[in-house]
Amino acid sequence: MRRCAVPGRGGMGARCLSGRWDDGDLGEFKPERWLKTNKETGREDFDPLAGPMLTFGLGPRGCYGKRLAMMSLRIHFVMIVWWFRLGGVRRS
């Protein structure tokens, strides 16, 4: 993760969370940021993962519930596999 300047902090640095976009205009509405050109068709398609994402946060102030959430997902997945009989899809 790269470092970037924080305005009004006298040269202190902070971690840039955007990564893919210009940090100077993150507050501006620019819908073209989510449009990516499809190499096969040449069409512009919507890419929901184009923007910066920090689902659980980073560093010492990150989400304390991350491990609990991941463990809960594992337990739910195991319970689905354990309690339900999963069959194949019939071909028509």
pLDDT tens for 42-68 read 999 988 877 777 777 777 778 888 889
Please report, for the chain, the start and end positions of each structural domain, with discontinuous segments joined by +: 3-83
Listing DSSP states for 23-76 in one string gives GGGTTS--GGGGEEE-TTT--EEE-TTSS---SS--GGGS-TTHHHHHHHHHHH
The whole-number pLDDT of residue 19 equals 56
What distance in Å separates the CA atoms of residue 38 and residue 44, rounded to the nearest whole number? 6
Q: Output the pTM of the full model.
A: 0.39
Average pLDDT over residues 29-49: 87
